[in-house]
Amino acid sequence: MTFGRRLRLAMDTRGPLCVGIDPHPELLSAWGLPMDVSGLQRFCATVVEALGERVAVLKPQSAFFERFGSPGIAVLEWTLAAIRDAGGLSIIDAKRGDIGSTVAAYAAAYLDPASPLAADAITASPYLGFGSLQPLLDVATAHQRGVFVLALTSNPEGPQVQHARTPSGSTVAQEILDAVAARNATAGLGSTGVVVGATVGQTGHSFAGLNGPILAPGLGAQGATPEDLRRVFGSALPDVLPSTSRDVLGRGPAVQSLRDAVERLHDQLSSAAGTYSAI
């Protein structure tokens, strides 16, 4: 089953929500955990126990594991396996982007099931040219994995590049959206998605014909509400996977508190969006 089909099934049965696993120092401290790899392990184990069977996707942010060196990477490997064992989908938030053999090596590390770091999908940066991601896209297709390509990010520096006009008169972001749409010209939800911040507002970009998932970070602590999703994404809303982190993780470390936070978000998304399936 392709990643797109697995994601559609997960969103329809568990609700359309991605929760980031972002063990930054402030959260470890707030949870009363030590600022070391043992605290990292306990944090991830709690999140997966609480949410691994209750949300469509969990999204570990690679940088917060890398900062602990090889022991942190070992915890990332464990976390990805634990998500898989819980029946959930994982997106590794690494935003990789390079050329030639290097991007091929990233593909082998994060998308080949033979790798201990393999996830169901990865975030990727296209700003060395969309074509530079071809080895990553090829490995994703071969192993039925997904790639989420940065298109319209919510950071204030993003528009400097993403809203720039190309010789065709289109914006860089629109050309990325169109390139992803071309890859998803198949029946059902495609496996190549985009990242569009839930807080970007109405930028005039078109999601028509994208036929792929839209990972939309920014729900909750970053300011986006469920009502904003319809305004930003319009008719593409059924393919949107809203992502939140601090709004849920800040309720920890109690397992039930994390679950309650997710249930509230599921209810809000279902009520505000209408087209979303209720959990």
Round to whole Å and give the CA distance between 275 and 204.
22
Q: Tell me if 59 sits within 8 A of 93, measured CB to CB.
A: yes
Q: Which of the residues 5, 24, 84, 95 is marked catalytic?
A: 95
Burial of residue 233 (CB within 10 Å: 0-12, 13-18, 19+) is: buried
Round to whole Å and give the CA distance between 86 and 157.
37
Q: Tell me if 16 sits within 8 A of 158, measured CB to CB.
A: no
Q: Tell me if 151 sits within 8 A of 176, measured CB to CB.
A: yes
- Can you name the residues that pair with 152 across neighbouring β-strands? 196
> E strands within 185-249?
192-196, 214-217, 240-244
**SS3 category, 143:** coil
Residue 95 bears catalytic tag: yes
**SS3 category, 86:** coil
DSSP-derived secondary structure letter, 205: -
Provide the annotated active-site residues.
Answer: 95
